[in-house]
Amino acid sequence: MKFFLLNAVLFFMPAIAFNQTRALKAFPLSSVRLLNSPFRQAQETDLKYMLSLDADRLLAPFLREAGIEPKAKSYPNWENTGLDGHIGGHYISALSNMYAATGDTRILERLRYMIDWLDKCQRKDTDGYVGGIPGGKKIWGDIAAGNIKAASFSLNDKWVPLYNIHKLFAGLVDAYNIAGSTKAKEVLVKLSDWFVNITLKLTDEQIQTMLRSEHGGMNEAFADVAVIAGDKKYLELARRLSHRVILNPLLQQRDALNGLHANTQIPKVIGYMRIAQVANDTAWANAANFFWNTVTKNRTISIGGNSVREHFHPANNFSSMIETKEGPETCNSYNMLKLSKQLFLSNASANYMDYYERTVYNHILSSQHPAGGFVYFTPIRPRHYRVYSQPQQSFWCCVGSGLENHGKYGEIIYGHNDKDIFINLFIPSVLEWKQKGISLEQQTSFPNTERTQIKLTLKKPQQFAVFFRYPSWVRDGMLKARVNNKDVVVKRNPN
Least Å distance, CB 204 to Zn ion, is 30
Q: Contact region for Zn ion (CB under 5 A) — 237-245, 276-284, 341-349, 398-406?
A: 398-406
399 lines the binding site for Zn ion (CB under 5 A): no
Least Å distance, CB 401 to Zn ion, is 6
The binder of Zn ion chosen from 397, 431, 438, 440 (CB under 5 A): 397
Nearer to Zn ion, 331 or 336 (CB): 331
Nearer to Zn ion, 388 or 468 (CB): 388
Q: Give me the half-sphere count of Cα atoms (radius 13 Å) on the Cβ side of residue 95.
A: 31
Least Å distance, CB 399 to Zn ion, is 8
262 lines the binding site for Zn ion (CB under 5 A): no
Nearer to Zn ion, 329 or 404 (CB): 329
Residue nearest to Zn ion (CB): 331
Nearer to Zn ion, 165 or 207 (CB): 165
Q: Contact region for Zn ion (CB under 5 A) — 53-61, 125-133, 354-362, 389-397?
A: 389-397
Nearer to Zn ion, 374 or 426 (CB): 374
> What's the rounded Cα separation, in Å, for the pair 264 and 168?
17
Least Å distance, CB 395 to Zn ion, is 11
For the chain, what is the HEC assignment?
A: CHHHHHHHHHHCHHHHCCCHHHCCEECCHHHEEECCCHHHHHHHHHHHHHHHCCHHHHHHHHHHHHCCCCCCCCCCHHHCCCCCCHHHHHHHHHHHHHHHHHCCHHHHHHHHHHHHHHHHHHHCCCCCCCCCCCCHHHHHHHHHCCCCCEECCEECCEECHHHHHHHHHHHHHHHHHCCCCHHHHHHHHHHHHHHHHHHCCCCHHHHHHHCCCCCCCHHHHHHHHHHHHCCHHHHHHHHHCCCHHHHHHHHCCCCCCCCCEHHHHHHHHHHHHHHHHHHCCHHHHHHHHHHHHHHHHHCECCCCCECECCECCCCCCCHHHHHCCCCCEHHHHHHHHHHHHHHHHHCCCHHHHHHHHHHHHHHHHHHECCCCCEECECCCCCCCCCCECCCCCCCCHHHHHHHHHCCCCCCCCEEECCCCEEECCCCCEEEEEHHHCEEEEEECCCCCCCCCEEEEEECCCCCCCEEECCCCCCCCCCCCEEECCEEECCCCCCC
Q: Contact region for Zn ion (CB under 5 A) — 102-110, 167-175, 331-339, 366-374?
A: 331-339
Q: Contact region for Zn ion (CB under 5 A) — 185-193, 203-211, 330-338, 485-493?
A: 330-338
Nearer to Zn ion, 154 or 472 (CB): 154
> What's the rounded Cα separation, in Å, for the pair 243 and 208?
6
398 lines the binding site for Zn ion (CB under 5 A): yes
Least Å distance, CB 325 to Zn ion, is 15
Least Å distance, CB 404 to Zn ion, is 11
Nearer to Zn ion, 266 or 398 (CB): 398
Least Å distance, CB 42 to Zn ion, is 18
Q: Contact region for Zn ion (CB under 5 A) — 86-94, 103-111, 367-375, 393-401?
A: 393-401
Least Å distance, CB 377 to Zn ion, is 9
Residues contacting Zn ion: total by CB under 5 A: 4
Q: Contact region for Zn ion (CB under 5 A) — 77-85, 146-154, 277-285, 322-330?
A: 322-330
> What's the rounded Cα separation, in Å, for the pair 157 and 159?
7
Nearer to Zn ion, 266 or 438 (CB): 266
Nearer to Zn ion, 266 or 353 (CB): 266
87 lines the binding site for Zn ion (CB under 5 A): no
331 lines the binding site for Zn ion (CB under 5 A): yes
Least Å distance, CB 425 to Zn ion, is 24
Least Å distance, CB 333 to Zn ion, is 10
> What's the rounded Cα separation, in Å, for the pair 404 and 179?
14
Nearer to Zn ion, 202 or 336 (CB): 336
| Interaction site with Zn ion (CB under 5 A) | 329, 331, 397-398
